[in-house]
Structure 1
Amino acid sequence: MGRVTKRVPSTRVVVGDADDGPVASATSRPDTVAVEEPLAIRVEGRPVSVTMRTPGDDFDLAIGFLLTEGMLEEAAQVRQATHCRDEDETGSPTFNVVDIALAPGTALDTSRAERSSYTSSACGVCGKTSIEAIRATTRYAVARDTAVFDPAVVAGLPEALRSRQRAFDRTGGLHAAGLLTATGEVLAVREDVGRHNAVDKVVGWAAREGRLPLSGHILVVSGRASFELTQKAVMAGVPMLVAVSAPSSLAVELATEAGLTLVGFARPPRMTVYAGAHRLGLA
């Protein structure tokens, strides 16, 4: 699971009313917060990316990142994933560097993923040199996926995801991504301070399980549907992306172009479909 949460000192302030106006009371108490630490991803010793993430499932995160960025095509191209021995100021190992060893004959393709060397947990796309650079061509034809989904099942998927967000329950500060079947069966849920990291962890898990492409599956995310999350869904061969919040304009544009079904504001009994309504029997 890794170092997911941490106890820190805090001051709880309550503002109330008194005869002479508002009054504040303060109580010192420990609180639980989500851990955020850098993860350096290397391939054959070569630095590829640094992302701010919640420790845990680091190998899945690294593999998922390389796949959804188009640098690798399949998990079989990874021979081994290891934590490099890096240490903090006390000499304790941090496990904040992952090195990916490639299978014989595999070459890393960085031509379509010109990401800067640093990625924050808040924004995974801003390191790209241009919007066109992240329109990587997926090897999976999402538009030809003939899966059909029950609207009643889809509308309830965010609740199924929320019920499994254990670290969020303790911190209130983590995003989540879940992979589900068309019937609503939850296959994998991952949490992270970065929404793009949570998706990469899920995709990396699915890749190592030999499940790619994710035809007939649904990717559910706890926040908004950004362009990057939509791209990652397409790169993994997922025909449907469901978000609790709103999509961006570029997410809608990409979903339409790629043939992905994009759902936002999914809270039973309602949801809004922005692309691919035919998979819900609505068009």
Structure 2
Amino acid sequence: MGRVTARRRVIRVRDGAVNARPDTLVTEEPLEIRLNGKPLAITMRTPGDDFDLAAGFLVSEGVLGRADELANIVYCAGATADDGGNTYNVVDVRLAPGVPVPDITLERNVYTTSSCGLCGKASLDAVRTTARWPVTDGPTPLRLAPELLYALPDRLRESQRVFDRTGGLHAAALFSPDGELLDVREDVGRHNAVDKLVGAALRQGRLPLAGNVLMVSGRASFELAQKAVMAGIPVLAAVSAPSSLAVDLAAETGMTLIGFLRGSSMNIYAGEQRVAL
């Protein structure tokens, strides 16, 4: 799996038995995102799908919304390791001609980590004013059977190839209204996994993602709810708890927010009209 995983020595203790052995860990490396050549953000991520990650990040920032607004994304050739090789840890996103470039100042530079993402940046008002699309069901009203929702965590788990080897990755998956798995991404950061999903959809010209369900492997933070809203996703489901601000955002934007989706139970915090109870 290349740079996605790494091997490290570990002392394993099991029932009093001690032995040294190699262990497979998920790789975590910094990715610097530049916009039209200027540094914008650094995120700690699992290498892979870096162009999707950068594009999805800019969707959540309100910079991109359509594929034709993106000129290209490249790894920066000048970002080299000590031996002269490319680190593949710096990408430059070029906007299409005529697309407004946000003011990049010292205050706007963002450092994101695998645990917090855009710490303290966003607010309900900011998301409301920058979202490109309303949260809608698509061409037909969305009514999801509880049994369909109950099956999503297992389908997400079955698609986590790297998690099986490391146990250290978050995942995000996009499902159709009938429960078909459309796409899945893994990353050490839960926000990165969602950005990779959304960025892939942007580059393929599939935004907004009306009528789809976003399933995440951890908790539903405000940031993940924000990213779902910015991509036009009407349903966000999580295996763990939501935050209070995530619930507030879902209620204000009309998004369905489901938490503690495990086995045959769930909590619906907002948008219960989309669940066929």
Q: What TM-score do the two structures reach when normalised by structure 2?
A: 0.92
1:137 to 130, 146, 151: 130
Alpha-carbon separation, structure 2, partners of 1:247 and 1:231: 12
Q: Counterparts in 2 of 1:234-245, with a 5 A limit? A: 234-245=229-240
- For 2:11, the aligned partner's letter is T
Q: How does 1:117-156 map to 2 (within 5 A)?
A: 117-126=110-119, 128=121, 133=126, 136-142=129-135, 146-156=141-151
Q: How many angstroms apart in 2 are the aligned matches of 1:132 and 1:169?
A: 39
CA distance in 1, matches of 2:130, 2:99: 18
Partner of 2:57: 65
Whole-Å separation in 2 of the counterparts to 1:87 and 1:73: 31
Q: Who is 2:199 aligned against?
A: 204
Distance, in Å, in 2 between the alignment partners of 1:258 and 1:276 is 9
CA pair 2-241 structure 1, distance change in 2 beyond 3 A: farther
Q: Distance in 2 between matches of 1:154 and 1:31?
A: 35
For 1:35, the equivalent position in structure 2 comes to 27
Q: 2:194 aligned with 1:194, yes or no?
A: no
**Residue number in structure 2 paired with 1:213:** 208
| Partner residue, 1:20 | none
Aligned length: 272
The answer for the alignment partner of 1:4 in structure 2 is 4
- Are 2:257 and 1:262 aligned? yes
* Aligned residues of 1:115 and 1:129 also touching (Cα < 8 A): no
2: distance between equivalents of 1:179 and 1:39?
24
Q: Is the partner of 1:166 in helix, strand or coil?
A: coil
The change in CA–CA distance for 1:135 and 1:37 in structure 2 (over 3 A counts) is farther
Match among 73, 88, 104 for residue 81 of structure 1: 73
- Looking at structure 2, the residues matched to 136 and 11 of structure 1 have their Cα atoms a distance apart, in angstroms, of 52
- Shift in Å at residue 73 of structure 1? 2.5
Q: Which residue of 2 is the match for residue 180 of structure 1? A: 175
CA displacement at 1:149 relative to structure 2: 1.5
State the shift of 1:136 in Å.
4.7
Question: d(CA) in 2 for partners of 1:167 and 1:93?
Answer: 24
1:144 Cα shift? 6.5
Q: Could you tell which deviates more after superposition, 49-58 or 82-91?
A: 82-91
Q: Which amino acid aligns with 1:49?
A: A
Higher alpha-carbon deviation: 60-69 or 133-142:
133-142
CA contact (8 A) 1:142 1:258 kept: yes
CA distance in 1, matches of 2:20, 2:132: 54
Uncovered stretches (5+) of structure 1, i.e. residues with no partner = 17-23
* TM-fit CA distance, 1:185: 0.7
Name the stretch that deviates more: 134-143 or 208-217.
134-143
1:51 partner letter: T
| Amino acid in structure 2 at the alignment position of 1:141 | P
What is the CA–CA distance in structure 2 between the aligned matches of 1:170 and 1:110, rounded to whole Å? Answer: 42
Q: How does 1:84-95 map to 2 (within 5 A)?
A: 84-85=76-77, 86-95=79-88
Letter in 1 for 2:33: I
How far has the Cα of 1:156 moved from its partner? 1.1
Contact 2:136 2:233 (C-alpha < 8 Å) held by counterparts: no
Aligned residues of 1:68 and 1:235 also touching (Cα < 8 A): yes
Secondary structure at the residue paired with 2:111? coil
Q: CA RMSD in A?
A: 1.9
1:104, CA displacement in angstroms? 1.1
How far did 1:68 drift?
A: 1.3
Tell me how far 1:269 sits from its aligned partner. 1.2
* Larger displacement relative to structure 2 (120-129 or 136-145): 136-145
Asked if structure 1 preserves the Cα contact closer than 8 Å seen for 2:65 and 2:207, the reply is: no
Match of 1:98 among 91, 100, 105: 91
Q: Is the 8 A contact 2:9 2:22 kept in 1?
A: yes
Q: State the identity %.
A: 57
User: Corresponding residue for 1:231?
Assistant: 226
- Distance in 2 between the 1:132 and 1:258 partners? 11
Which amino acid is 1:101 matched to? R
